[in-house]
Amino acid sequence: MAVALAAACSSPPPPPADLADDLAAKVTVDALSTHLEALQDIAERNGGNRAQGTPGFDASVDYVAKLLRDRGFEVQTPEFDRYGGTRGGAPGLTVNGRGHPVDKASLLVDTGPEGVDAVTLRPVKPAGCAAADYGRTDVRRAIVVVDDTGCSVVVKQNVAVDRGAVGLLVVTTGGDKGSPPGLFTPGYYRELTIPVGIIGADANAALRRTTAPVRLRLDGQPVMAKSRNVLAQTTTGDARNVVMAGAHLDSVAGGPGINDNGTGVAAVLETALQLGSSPQIDNAVRFAFWGSEEIGLEGSRAYLRSLDAEHLADIAVYLNFDMLGSPNAGYFTYDGDQSAATAPVPVPEGSAGVERLLAGYLNLAGVRPADMPLGNATDYEPFLAAGVPIGGLTTGAAQQKTPVQARLWGGRAATPFDPNYHTRRDTVDNVDRRALGIMAPGVAFAVGTYARSIDGANGVPPRDNRDRKVR
């Protein structure tokens, strides 16, 4: 009897009947506020921000890592290389002896001061997004000149390289609105292998007036800097069916980044702390806090590049949380089923189920959800490109709230969801606690649901049926 009693006393408590609801109830606004105030304090003690490459970011890493370790997690803070600038160099384009300004897009490619001498040629269709755009034009050993429409600079370069080009110039009008959306995808420069420059109208006009070779000089040594991610995984659960939840840890240089993205960090961190390092779950849970999201999604991209095919296939689903307390809040799920997309894109199987799960949670929480179109500006994008089912929540950034949305959720129409986005006003005082109190438990609900099961109507493909793209 004594042995039986001792065994009973040492046995772990039974898991809650509904892990998702139980975990969501434990993620409280008071606990989240503690993390937000800590991140605010870190920013105030380090020049007003927590940006990549600053002491404020390093202190943010230490804060998150310590809390996770104190809760029993084995924490990793793997380093990765990121672009930190260029040393030396004098980029330029010389046409008929006259110099013209050129911006270096291929940041990791150095022509040296001698540059590249070649004639310039153009595809029949100015975009140069497909082989068919070139018609019969032979651009071997030439510098190709294209416009800035239709596709990314990476696609333009790849098509030109396949046709034998030795360089690429992209003509952009730029102006106050900058380059067209989609021209420079996050981390694009890592995929450029030949000299690629950006020129304006004057240089383009000069090129049209000559058939002589020109000199494209894109020199300057790239300077790579180190950064870190924070990763922690439960010791329990199937490591071949990993549920990942992530948020970016860095702010912009212009402010403390408490809504963007201290709120996402707080929600993922508190979910981890409440779940614990050794819960009774079926699928392992991995928590990620990304560096350098504000500079090309470098942290999440580096993480995925570090995985071989087997470890990539182990990731069952990735859940991303970026801005959960916008002061003029919307209540969005990422559009995993592409129901709101004007130009639908391929989305990994299972993403629609994640959207349904989170939309159902928000409905039960008392708010009607809407779709946030998928883009390439936050950390789910590299997972999406790798074929991992994705989903997540956000309360919106610089987008303007419509009159319909204002009637649906309250707040002010014709005003950004977060008027303080990427400014020094992005502080604890400007986080909407009601929105945070709805959205952050949704993080825990999704984690708890998939930690128990990846099957069912809102499930994701089983381990043997996963189509992944190692990059």
From the CB of residue 466, how many other CB atoms can be counted at a distance below 10 Å?
20
Q: What is the pLDDT of residue 173?
A: 79
**Percentage of the chain surpassing pLDDT 70?**
95
CA-based nearest residue to 419, from 402, 405, 398, 433: 398
Q: What is the pLDDT of residue 437?
A: 98
Q: What is the pLDDT of residue 4?
A: 44
Q: What is the pLDDT of residue 3?
A: 43
Contact 150, 343 (CB under 8 A): no
In the chain, where are the structural domains located? 15-82+226-465, 89-219
Residue 175 banded pLDDT, cuts 50, 70, 90? low
Fold designation for 89-219: Glucose Oxidase; domain 1 (3.50.30)
Q: What is the pLDDT of residue 354?
A: 98
Contact 93, 215 (CB under 8 A): yes
Q: What is the pLDDT of residue 10?
A: 45
Catalytic entry in 270, 293, 294, 298: 293
From the CB of residue 110, how many other CB atoms can be counted at a distance below 10 Å?
17
Q: What is the pLDDT of residues 274-315, one digit of tens each?
A: 999 999 999 999 999 999 999 989 999 999 999 999 999 999
Q: What is the pLDDT of residues 367-416, one digit of tens each?
A: 999 999 999 899 999 999 999 999 999 999 999 999 999 999 999 999 99
Flag whether pLDDT at 468 surpasses 50. yes
The strand pair at 167-171 and 196-199 is best described as parallel
DSSP 190: G
Q: What is the pLDDT of residue 9?
A: 44
- Chain centroid, CA 98 distance in Å: 41
Flag whether pLDDT at 7 surpasses 60. no
Q: What is the pLDDT of residues 433-459, one digit of tens each?
A: 999 999 999 999 999 999 999 999 999
Instruction: For residue 105, report the phi and psi dihedrals to the nearest 5 degrees.
Output: -85, -35
Q: What is the pLDDT of residues 146-170, one digit of tens each?
A: 999 999 999 999 999 999 999 999 9
- Fold identical between 15-82+226-465 and 89-219? no
Instruction: For residue 349, report the phi and psi dihedrals to the nearest 5 degrees.
Output: -55, 135
Q: What is the pLDDT of residues 216-227, one digit of tens each?
A: 999 999 999 999
CA-based nearest residue to 256, from 445, 56, 6, 20: 56
Q: What is the pLDDT of residues 22-46, one digit of tens each?
A: 999 999 999 999 999 999 999 999 9
Residue 13 banded pLDDT, cuts 50, 70, 90? low
Q: What is the pLDDT of residue 181?
A: 80
Residue 185 banded pLDDT, cuts 50, 70, 90? confident
Averaged pLDDT score across all residues of the chain: 94
Q: What is the pLDDT of residue 179?
A: 75
Is residue 270 annotated as a catalytic residue, yes or no? no
Kindly indicate whether the domain formed by 15-82+226-465 is annotated with CATH number 3.40.630.10: yes
